[in-house]
């Protein structure tokens, strides 16, 4: 059953992460927001060393195999897995520091999550090992294309097997790839490219391919200039006759054309990572609420808890409502990652937490600006930056609208073609 007490290993982890967020992220938030695409190497190198020290080189732990607090051998007590729970706490705290800087944390990120969700044991060992190496390494996943975003059945990037060389030849274009540039420029980096081996099969023809940095025919053609998360690169990637080894297709090399493992693999990746995206929004929300209450206190406004709503001021009611939204969203994240850690289906809970996380962070940051008025709108504080950073939580890894569809289909028992 789910326990509400934070596991001790996570408590210890949070002490370190809070120091990182306070000392290495928050003081530099404005600088990296104003110097878009400049890489925060001091943060990256420190985090890489810190993660290696605790054995967490990849940001995507093996499902159900999270860290366990050690006990003396004579007790033989086994603690429940907390891998994704640990990540949720980590990402919430780092996003409290700065969500843009967090997005360039070394590790596999969504790319490693795709390897974990769809790869064979041998592929996981091979591709995830680079994130445990002495030098920082980066990973990304590319699915969105110019003609399709949420409708993954419309993917046109193709993968054709060259039987003479036993290589896959990839052609196509991917857009809005988070950390795409840094992953392809890093010598040990990789991008998981979703392509179709059979366009007539729709989603059933989708397959993930590991494209490693330095692969000929792969190029970054554009970097987006964004409203928020400006420390992180968002790239367009073009593949022109890019050749990858046969074994870089994630999953079994036996590939029947008429099956749906490819699409299910993509969804399994999102089921693992959508709660983590929600956690980043919660970190931004918490930062916003804390600063808002601090600024209000400086003006003599103190929140009086425990009074009937009719006796509270409008500002007090707003702040309390924001705190309720924050706590409820966090509980949904905890449930979703607990299910992931325990190898239980969590598609419904993952999408629900993603919807809620994206919803509350946009509402909380906007309401904070409204309450503070001109003070919130100026650059004297980070409120306006957090407002700009917030919206992406509702957009990437499945928009709020798409995740609402996923929730509705799960609750009503409809297939995709039955409810759009």
Show which residues are catalytic: 397
Distances (CA, A) of 101 to 30, 73, 357: 11, 40, 19
Both ends of the chain: CA-CA distance in Å? 34
Residue with tokens 């360039």: 104
Q: Are 99 and 389 in contact (CB under 8 A)?
A: yes
At residue 237, what are phi and psi to the nearest 5 degrees?
Answer: -125, 130
Question: Is residue 300 packed enough to be buried (19+ CB in 10 Å), middle (13-18) or exposed (0-12)?
Answer: exposed
Q: Residue 356: which of 322, 377, 333 has the closest Cα? A: 333
At residue 339, what are phi and psi to the nearest 5 degrees?
Answer: -65, -40
What is the C-alpha to C-alpha distance for residues 198 and 159, in angstroms, rounded to an integer? 8
What is the C-alpha to C-alpha distance for residues 92 and 71, in angstroms, rounded to an integer? 27
Q: Residue 364: which of 309, 291, 289, 294 has the closest Cα? A: 289
Alpha carbon of residue 387 to chain centroid: 18
What is the C-alpha to C-alpha distance for residues 354 and 394, in angstroms, rounded to an integer? 8
What is the C-alpha to C-alpha distance for residues 95 and 90, in angstroms, rounded to an integer? 9
* Both structure tokens of 343: 């190898």
What is the C-alpha to C-alpha distance for residues 374 and 362, in angstroms, rounded to an integer? 19
What is the C-alpha to C-alpha distance for residues 399 and 411, in angstroms, rounded to an integer? 18
């Amino acid at each position: 059953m789910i326990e509400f007490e934070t596991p001790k290993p996570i408590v210890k982890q949070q002490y370190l992460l809070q120091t990182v967020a306070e000392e290495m992220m928050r003081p530099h938030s404005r600088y990296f927001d104003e110097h878009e695409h400049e890489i925060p190497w001091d943060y990256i190198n420190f985090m890489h060393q810190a993660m290696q020290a605790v054995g967490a080189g990849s940001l995507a732990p093996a499902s159900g195999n999270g860290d366990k607090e050690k006990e003396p051998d004579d007790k033989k007590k086994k603690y429940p897995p907390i891998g994704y729970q640990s990540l949720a706490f980590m990402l919430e705290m780092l996003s409290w520091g700065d969500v843009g800087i967090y997005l360039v944390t070394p590790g596999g990120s969504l790319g490693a999550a795709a390897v974990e969700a769809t790869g064979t044991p041998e592929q996981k060992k091979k591709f995830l090992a680079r994130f445990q190496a002495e030098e920082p390494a980066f990973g990304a996943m590319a699915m969105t294309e110019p003609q399709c975003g949420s409708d993954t059945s419309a993917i046109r990037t193709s993968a054709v097997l060259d039987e003479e060389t036993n290589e896959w030849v990839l052609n196509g274009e991917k857009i809005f790839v988070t950390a795409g540039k840094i992953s392809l420029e890093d010598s040990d980096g990789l991008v998981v490219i979703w392509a179709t081996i059979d366009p007539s099969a729709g989603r059933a023809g989708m397959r993930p391919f590991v494209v490693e940095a330095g692969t000929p025919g792969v190029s970054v053609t554009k970097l987006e200039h964004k409203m928020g998360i400006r420390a992180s690169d968002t790239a367009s990637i073009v593949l022109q006759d890019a050749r990858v080894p046969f074994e870089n297709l994630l999953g079994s090399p036996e590939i029947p054309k008429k099956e749906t493992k490819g699409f299910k693999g993509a969804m399994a990746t999102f089921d693992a990572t959508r709660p983590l995206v929600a956690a980043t929004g919660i970190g931004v929300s918490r930062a916003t609420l804390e600063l808002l209450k601090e600024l209000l206190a400086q003006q003599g406004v103190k929140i009086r808890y425990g009074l009937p709503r009719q006796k509270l001021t409008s500002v007090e009611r707003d702040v309390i409502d924001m705190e309720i939204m924050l706590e409820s969203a966090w509980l949904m994240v905890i449930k979703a990652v607990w299910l992931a850690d325990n190898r239980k289906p969590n598609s419904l809970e993952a999408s629900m937490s993603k919807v809620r996380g994206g919803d509350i962070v946009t509402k909380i940051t906007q309401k904070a600006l409204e309450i503070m008025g001109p003070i919130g709108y100026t650059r004297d504080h980070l409120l306006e930056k957090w407002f700009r950073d917030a919206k992406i939580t509702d957009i990437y890894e499945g928009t709020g609208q798409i995740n609402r569809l996923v929730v509705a289909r799960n609750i009503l028992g409809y297939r995709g073609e039955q409810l759009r």
